[in-house]
Amino acid sequence: MSILIALAGKPNCGKSTFFKAATLADVEIANYPFTTIKPNLGVSYVRAKCPCKELHLTCPKCSDGERFIAVELLDVAGLVPEAHKGKGLGNAFLDDMRQAQAIIHVIDASGGTDIEGNVVPVGTHDPLDDIKFLETEITMWMFGILHKNWVKLSRKASASGEKIEDVIAEQFAGLGIDNVMAKQALLETGLVDKHIVNWTEPEMIELSDLLRKISKPLVIAANKADIAPPQNLEKLKGLEKDGYRVIACSAGIELALRNAASHGFIQYLPGDKDFTIKNPEKLNPAQKGALEKMREFLKKNDGTGIQKCLNEVVFGLLGYIVAYPVEDESKFTDKSGNVLPDAFLIKKGSTARDLAFRVHTQIGESFLFGINARTKMRLGDKYELQDNDIIKITSTK
Ligand SMILES: Nc1nc2c(ncn2[C@@H]2O[C@H](COP(=O)(O)OP(=O)(O)O)[C@@H](O)[C@H]2O)c(=O)[nH]1
Ligand SMILES: [Mg+2]
């Protein structure tokens, strides 16, 4: 049920630093059973405004009115050009991407690494050259699957009269592609009206590219922004007019700040635009200087950008909202009196009954009605959840 986000990019762009920073959580925040699932799979968080503040409640689950909700993050092995043909870690990389719902494409915005990730002087490599190649690798990998199975798929579509979007969705189910996504890609390419037997290779590549875009949307993390020449950041930002979402960030600074916070030197929450030094007398001048430099970056960029990337993926690209189920709608608690015990990430468009199913299958099946805890209004099973809703669910079970 959890959302899986893949961190992808060429070697040395900062994926592992991003991963380390984003999965290094304070014990108070880390209400997830384990923070590192596998060495490269960890738990990170999106940040949302918890309703506790507006309701004047004390909520043990959030920090100063900020709620951190778990998502899973995957540090994907470095990708090199021609991976789809087996270069580098090749298909291991691509296999890792299968389950991801979205990608954070980490770019070395400083231009200090070449296309294969070798270190070069800062400013000498054009980071724009790194954008396309990741996309091409994934697209060509998907095209490879389509091409390899083309005869089988054609036969299926011809013989059984199965709808082409169902045939495609079935083939790519392991990549999280359903028939709605397949239909969209077929419509946009116009291939919905052309029998699969007659598809050309360029058409299949175009279809694969659209399937990729739809099933693995991405944000661009313009990383190492702390050392990047300003013109590089401007160029990357310029991609937004082509529909990309580009976020300047510094995984290095985020990691340093989270470390400083976990050691009690500073007060800082992931996503904050500033921090406070707790015990200035415990810091030497060099440490203070380093912190002030980082503060400058935060002020200029509205934070380190790391939390922004995660929030943008979940709330922007994937269209999730947050819903808070409660059992006691007058106190906003569960049965034991815990205030706002759960925060669920759920797709925009989901209904009160969908939320009931998230709480428990049985509760979904025996759903009677919901109650909006703020207004005490009754809600039917088809009520469309709004972001930040607090809902009591009544069921026969
Ligand atoms: N200046 C700066 N260096 C960074 C940043 N993020 C990562 N690095 C450095 O870039 C190098 C590669 O980082 P790493 O996370 O191992 O990259 P990966 O190969 O993509 O996992 C390391 O020396 C990091 O310290 C950043 O935001 N700013
Ligand atoms: Mg790494």
pLDDT in tens, 207-243: 999 999 999 999 999 999 999 999 999 999 999 999 9
Long-range contact set of residues 155-161: C-beta below 8 Å, sequence gap at least 24: 157/195, 157/196, 158/195, 158/197
372 φ, ψ (degrees, to nearest 5): -75, 115
Predicted confidence at residue 34, as pLDDT, reads 44
pLDDT grade for 178, boundaries at 50, 70 and 90: very high
Among 24-28, 52-56, 208-212, 356-360, name the one with the lowest average pLDDT: 24-28
Predicted confidence at residue 88, as pLDDT, reads 63
Which atom number of ligand 1 is nearest to the Cα of residue 75? 21
C-alpha 177/C-alpha 232 separation (Å) is 34
- Per residue in 82-96, is it b (16+ CB within 10 Å) or e — as a string? ebbeeebbbeebbeb
Examine the pLDDT at 122 and tell me if it is beyond 50. Answer: yes
Among 28-42, 174-188, 287-301, name the one with the lowest average pLDDT: 28-42
Examine the pLDDT at 38 and tell me if it is beyond 70. Answer: no
Ligand 1 neighbour 78 (Cβ under 6 A): yes
272 token code pair: 């904050």
Q: Where exactly does CATH 3.40.50.300 map onto the chain?
A: 4-124+217-314
Ligand 2 centroid to Cα of residue 14, in Å, is 7
Least distant ligand from the CA of 106: 1
Examine the pLDDT at 249 and tell me if it is beyond 90. Answer: yes
Residue 148 CB burial class (10 angstroms; 0-12, 13-18, ≥19):
exposed
What single-letter amino acid sits at 381? D
pLDDT tens digits for range 350-388: 999 999 999 999 999 999 999 999 999 999 999 999 999
C-alpha 266/C-alpha 50 separation (Å) is 23
Instruction: For a ligand 1 pocket test, name from 12, 19, 255, 257 the mutation site with the most ligand atoms within 8 angstroms of its C-beta.
Output: 12
Examine the pLDDT at 255 and tell me if it is beyond 80. Answer: yes
Ligand 1 neighbour 11 (Cβ under 6 A): yes
C-alpha 317/C-alpha 100 separation (Å) is 13
Ligand 1 neighbour 251 (Cβ under 6 A): yes
Ligand 1 neighbour 108 (Cβ under 6 A): no
pLDDT grade for 269, boundaries at 50, 70 and 90: very high
Ligand 1 neighbour 55 (Cβ under 6 A): no
Ligand 1 neighbour 217 (Cβ under 6 A): no
Residue 88 in 3-state DSSP? coil
CB contact set of 318 (below 8 Å; sequence gap of 6+) = 3, 101, 102, 217, 347
pLDDT grade for 35, boundaries at 50, 70 and 90: very low
Longest dimension (CA), the chain: 78
Predicted confidence at residue 1, as pLDDT, reads 61
Ligand 1 centroid to Cα of residue 7, in Å, is 13
Ligand 2 centroid to Cα of residue 16, in Å, is 4
Q: Where exactly does CATH 3.10.20.30 map onto the chain?
A: 321-395
pLDDT tens digits for range 84-95: 776 665 566 777
Q: What is the mean pLDDT of residues 148-160?
A: 88
- Mean pLDDT value across the chain: 91
Task: Please give the CATH number for the structural domain made up of 321-395.
Answer: 3.10.20.30
Least distant ligand from the CA of 225: 1
Beta bridge mates, 311: none
Topology of domain 4-124+217-314, CATH: Rossmann fold (3.40.50)
Residue 201 CB burial class (10 angstroms; 0-12, 13-18, ≥19):
exposed
Picking from 215, 100, 217, 102, the residue whose alpha carbon sits closest to that of residue 169 is: 215
| 393, 359 contact by CB (below 8 A) | yes
DSSP 255-279: HHHHHHHHTTSEE--TT-S--EES-
Per DSSP, helices labelled H in the chain are 15-23, 90-97, 128-148, 150-159, 164-171, 179-189, 201-215, 230-237, 251-262, 285-301, 306-311, 352-359, 361-365
197 token code pair: 């037997």
What single-letter amino acid sits at 96? D
| 64, 114 contact by CB (below 8 A) | no
Q: 73-82, 148-157, 261-270, 293-302: which has the highest mean pLDDT?
A: 293-302
pLDDT grade for 291, boundaries at 50, 70 and 90: very high
Predicted confidence at residue 28, as pLDDT, reads 43
Ligand 1 centroid to Cα of residue 321, in Å, is 32
Percentage of the chain beyond pLDDT 90 is: 77
